[in-house]
Amino acid sequence: MRNMCLLGIVISLASHTAWAQTPAAPLPPKDVFVAELLKKMSVDEKIGQLRLISIGPEMPREMIRKEIAAGRIGGTFNSISRDENRPMQDAAMRSRLQIPMFFAYDVIHGHRTIFPISLALASSWDMDAIGLSGRIAAREASADSIDLTFAPMVDIARDPRWGRTSEGFGEDTYLVSRIAKVMVQAYQGASPALPGNIMASVKHFALYGAVEGGRDYNTVDMSPTRMFQDYLPPYHAAIEAGAGSVMVALNSINGVPATSNMWLMQDLLRKDWGFKGVAVSDHGAINELIKHGVAKDSREAAKLAIKAGIDMSMNDKAYGEELPGLLKSGEVPQSDLDNAVREVLGAKYDMGLFADPYLRIGKAEDDPADTKADSRLHRAEAREVARKSLVLLKNQNDTLPLNKQARIALVGPLAKAPIDIMGSWAAAGQPAQSVTVFDGMRNAIAQQDNLIYARGANITDDQSVVDYLNFLNFDAPEVVNDPRAAQVMIDEAVKAAQQADVVVAVVGESRGMSHESSSRTNLDIPASQRALITALKATGKPLVLVLMNGRPLSIDVQQQQADAVLETWFSGTEGGNAIADVLFGDYNPSGKLPITFPRSVGQIPTYYSHLSIGRPFTPGKPGNYTSQYFDEGNSPLYPFGYGLSYTDFSLSDVRLSAKTLKPGATLTASVTVTNTGKRAGETVVQLYIQDVTASMSRAVKELKNFEKVMLNPGEQKVVQFTLSENDLKFYNAQLQHVAEPGEFNVQIGLDSQNVQQNSFQLQ
Ligand code: NOJ
């Protein structure tokens, strides 16, 4: 059938079964296949391939099918079941050249089974667990006929006021780059064309996480060295891992929007990095070039975007409406159009869609009777991954783990929050299938009367915030306040606390507070919940805070009020069970922060890998003219890499195999880590490097490797890291990636601040 379509013979297929029954002849190689097909396409058909349409109320389904059959749509997103997508693929098979559609979706941290949000996944520092979440997401999504995910999102986030901090993997270049690779491999497997795999569209290229002031969609202004050193490597890692697609960022970079940025899209992405996949604009981004002030109208916007190398336009009419005229007038040469179409067709080839347009849609008779059936979920895996993502921040007097026989007051607006626990971008996740903290704790204890629940507070009593959060939701309001007076709810919670041995307060943000377009000027837990915590503290009962949030919060006061603090982020479908596993000690927490917690919002940025400066603040020696805030401590509240366990670990000094490293050679740095406590547990041994003197100021330390180790009580393990010249390289003022001879400090710790140090010379 394919070959027929290559020969230009139009065969109309009433249904996909004809494809399925035709023995598949091997396709010609991609370049040959795409070149042949391109020759047969009319200009209109080519332009049609560049349109990526959102399935939503804007365009009726019937109209979409007509457009597809006319060859005017290349792909869609937001339709997420086989029976929704099959008629669209059938329509594509009725089009003149039968070019298949692809179907995309934002599968960010799970598809039907919701895994912890990306920031939480990063907290596991466990590449197997992260990869497993991606594999399952791909399998579930492909079983629902999704061909491509707009993920992984690998924007480095160093300003937690930015709501999309929750969507990424944190502040650190090395950690995010490692995860970028793992995620691409998890989604795509050996090939995105194989069953069960989907194509990854890495986003948002580039630097979106550095929007000024953390305000979404704002400008990014950044030195080239910082870009290359800190912000670009994760995208590069994803592309090196074979990501078939890139989504282009909404922001401008040093004044030039990414969507029209020739340097970014052509010089860096295509020429320097050799990217050969399809570049997709973000939602409406081409027309936004007018508002960016670089295009006077939609025509100019389309011209700038196609020239920059934006292959597909996401939900944007500019290409469809303007390219015909631009091509006719010669303002856009045919070759620009062909280049874009070639990438779209190439991506479809890579997704396996030319070989079988119904690869992921399958046959109607095999469709799941109920797409939302619980049997389609991967609960055990979600629970396992979720427990690895929880970070114990404080545990005074061994308040945790809790005794399963204790009377527990469970309070807080997030204790029973099936929507929030899934986090933002929860794809096809169903709140009714989420295990809340209340459910999880109930499941864990035998005597259910021992769990006394009281809501205690609303997430926020600020009606304008509630309205904003609900405005973002099309279906139904997500934040529904209890109409009772705040004091009535607090009194009820205090009463519950007084009857209990220990209080567990589940507090933080609603999921919508850490989302796209949800930036904040402060990072406090909302006032209603702070008042609740203060009232609970006054009862004198041991107080455990279970935090739910999508970004670091400023919790200095609350962590002082609490005896124990567990950071759970938004932990997904099985979150409540996973949290109960940790609270009751059925699982020993092992997560480490992938992002620094500031003491207060004014300290931002607080990322650990800042450059050396001339007047650093020295703890314990507060000189007047050193870099500090006089009204706030200089250190973060919790540093990058930090997280406690129910057991204790000690680290030996750092041993180096040599005191000098020759270019081309390697050196090993090792430590002995010992479990000095009474329980088996895992910890993450982290290796940081400091280039002491170089041609430019360098970071005070940078993560270069880590290993997660499991140790029984009393057990020791030697953890050994191999260092080569490559680990010492940085982008110098000429943007050359070099290692400069001289002294390097090697720091190894169980977080980024509390480290053992040794040093060597690079010759
Ligand atoms: C806009 C977001 O910026 C992007 O991350 C997402 O993939 C698209 N919308 C599609 O939902």
Pairing of strands 716-724, 666-675: antiparallel
- How far are the Cα atoms of 60, 398, 497, 501, 502 from residue 539, in angstroms, in the given order? 58, 19, 7, 11, 10
Cα 427 to middle of ligand 1, angstroms: 12
Interior CA angle at 751 toward 748 and 757, to 5°? 25
Give start-end residues of each CATH 2.60.40.10 domain in the chain.
649-762
Cα 166 to middle of ligand 1, angstroms: 14
Q: Closest Cα partner for 202 from 154, 144, 263?
A: 154
The alpha carbon of residue 485 and the mean position of all alpha carbons in its chain are separated, in whole angstroms, by 37
Q: What confidence tens digit (pLDDT) does each residue in 269-300 have?
A: 999 999 999 999 999 999 999 999 999 999 99
Cα 106 to middle of ligand 1, angstroms: 7
Q: Where would I find the beta strands (DSSP E) of 603-680? A: 649-651, 655-656, 660-661, 666-675
What pLDDT, on the 0 to 100 scale, is given for residue 476? 83
What pLDDT, on the 0 to 100 scale, is given for residue 151? 98
What pLDDT, on the 0 to 100 scale, is given for residue 60? 85
Phi, psi for 706 (deg, rounded to 5): -160, 160
Segment 493-516 mean pLDDT:
98
Residue 201 CA: which ligand 1 atom is closest? 7
Which residue out of 108, 247, 248 has the highest number of ligand 1 atoms within 8 Å of its CB and is therefore the one to mutate? 247
pLDDT at 101 over 80: yes
If you take atom 3 of ligand 1, which residue's CA is the nearest one?
A: 282
If you take atom 7 of ligand 1, which residue's CA is the nearest one?
A: 150
d(CA 252, CA 285): 11
- How far are the Cα atoms of 163, 194, 304 from residue 285, in angstroms, in the given order? 19, 31, 12
If you take atom 11 of ligand 1, which residue's CA is the nearest one?
A: 106
d(CA 759, CA 745): 4
98 touches 362 (CB < 8 A): no
Please report the DSSP string for 392-418 in residue order.
EEEEGGG-PSPPTTS-EEEESTTTT-T
If you take atom 1 of ligand 1, which residue's CA is the nearest one?
A: 283
Q: How crowded is residue 531: how many other Cβ atoms within 10 Å of its Cβ?
A: 17
Segment 344-365 mean pLDDT:
98
Residue 250 CA: which ligand 1 atom is closest? 3
Query: What value does the mean pLDDT of the chain take?
Result: 95
- How far are the Cα atoms of 40, 149, 212, 219, 300 from residue 428, in angstroms, in the given order? 38, 13, 32, 32, 37
What pLDDT, on the 0 to 100 scale, is given for residue 624? 81
Alpha helices in 421-481, H assignment, sequence order: 437-444, 463-471
d(CA 306, CA 303): 5
Single-letter residue type at 539: T
pLDDT at 181 over 60: yes
What pLDDT, on the 0 to 100 scale, is given for residue 24? 60
Residue 153 CA: which ligand 1 atom is closest? 5
Sheet with 148-149, strands from edge to edge, namely 278-280, 245-248, 199-205, 148-149, 102-105, 75-77, 51-54, 313-314
What pLDDT, on the 0 to 100 scale, is given for residue 4? 32
Cα 183 to middle of ligand 1, angstroms: 18
Which residue out of 516, 517, 519 has the highest number of ligand 1 atoms within 8 Å of its CB and is therefore the one to mutate? 516
Domain 649-762, CATH homologous superfamily name and number: Immunoglobulins (2.60.40.10)
Q: What confidence tens digit (pLDDT) does each residue in 510-551 have?
A: 999 999 999 999 999 999 999 999 999 999 999 999 999 999
In the block, residue with structure tokens 């009751």: 584
Q: Which helix (H) or strand (E) holds 149?
A: strand 148-149
pLDDT at 456 over 70: yes
Q: Closest Cα partner for 534 from 486, 470, 573?
A: 486
> Residue 271 carries which DSSP code?
I
pLDDT at 17 over 70: no
If you take atom 9 of ligand 1, which residue's CA is the nearest one?
A: 283
Segment 668-685 mean pLDDT:
98
553 - beta bridge partners?
Answer: none
Phi, psi for 699 (deg, rounded to 5): -60, 145
Q: Closest Cα partner for 280 from 197, 334, 347, 353?
A: 347
In this prediction, residue 56 has a pLDDT band, given cuts at 50, 70 and 90, of confident
Q: pTM of the predicted model, to two decimals?
A: 0.96
pLDDT at 1 over 70: no
What pLDDT, on the 0 to 100 scale, is given for residue 439? 98
Give start-end residues of each CATH 3.40.50.1700 domain in the chain.
380-596
Cα 483 to middle of ligand 1, angstroms: 34
pLDDT at 474 over 70: no
Q: Is 435 exposed, middle or buried (0-12, 13-18, 19+ CB in 10 A)?
A: buried
pLDDT at 438 over 80: yes
Longest dimension (CA), the chain: 82
Residue 247 CA: which ligand 1 atom is closest? 7
Cα 54 to middle of ligand 1, angstroms: 11
Residue 78 CA: which ligand 1 atom is closest? 11
Q: What confidence tens digit (pLDDT) does each residue in 553-594 have?
A: 999 999 999 999 999 999 999 999 999 999 999 999 999 999
d(CA 504, CA 496): 11
Residue 150 CA: which ligand 1 atom is closest? 7
Cα 80 to middle of ligand 1, angstroms: 16
Ligand 1, CB cutoff 6 Å, lining residues: 106, 150, 203, 282-283, 516
What pLDDT, on the 0 to 100 scale, is given for residue 360? 98
Between 209 and 621, whose confidence is greater? Answer: 209
d(CA 536, CA 100): 59
Cα 458 to middle of ligand 1, angstroms: 29
Active-site annotation, residues: 282
Cα 478 to middle of ligand 1, angstroms: 20
Domain 380-596, CATH homologous superfamily name and number: Glycoside hydrolase family 3 C-terminal domain (3.40.50.1700)
Q: How crowded is residue 45: how many other Cβ atoms within 10 Å of its Cβ?
A: 20
d(CA 490, CA 480): 17
In this prediction, residue 16 has a pLDDT band, given cuts at 50, 70 and 90, of very low
Segment 320-342 mean pLDDT:
98
- Burial pattern 711-734, b for ≥16 Cβ within 10 A else e, equals beeeeeeebebebebebbebbbee
Cα 146 to middle of ligand 1, angstroms: 16
In the block, residue with structure tokens 């480490």: 592
Which residue out of 314, 315, 425, 518 has the highest number of ligand 1 atoms within 8 Å of its CB and is therefore the one to mutate? 314
Sign of CA dihedral 508, 167, 387, 137: positive
In this prediction, residue 444 has a pLDDT band, given cuts at 50, 70 and 90, of very high
What pLDDT, on the 0 to 100 scale, is given for residue 622? 66
What pLDDT, on the 0 to 100 scale, is given for residue 22? 46
d(CA 633, CA 274): 46
In this prediction, residue 88 has a pLDDT band, given cuts at 50, 70 and 90, of very high
Cα 351 to middle of ligand 1, angstroms: 21
In this prediction, residue 14 has a pLDDT band, given cuts at 50, 70 and 90, of very low
Q: Which helix (H) or strand (E) holds 529?
A: helix 527-538
Which residue out of 117, 283, 312, 516 has the highest number of ligand 1 atoms within 8 Å of its CB and is therefore the one to mutate? 283
Q: Which helix (H) or strand (E) holds 493?
A: helix 486-498
pLDDT at 21 over 70: no
Q: What confidence tens digit (pLDDT) does each residue in 689-712 have?
A: 999 999 999 999 999 999 999 999
- How far are the Cα atoms of 57, 69, 87, 375 from residue 62, in angstroms, in the given order? 12, 11, 10, 32
What pLDDT, on the 0 to 100 scale, is given for residue 620? 79
Q: Which helix (H) or strand (E) holds 755?
A: strand 755-762
Single-letter residue type at 722: T
Q: What confidence tens digit (pLDDT) does each residue in 204-214 have?
A: 999 999 999 99
d(CA 164, CA 519): 8
706 - beta bridge partners?
Answer: 686
Between 5 and 200, whose confidence is greater? Answer: 200
Q: What confidence tens digit (pLDDT) does each residue in 59-84 have?
A: 888 999 999 999 999 999 999 999 99
Cα 230 to middle of ligand 1, angstroms: 23
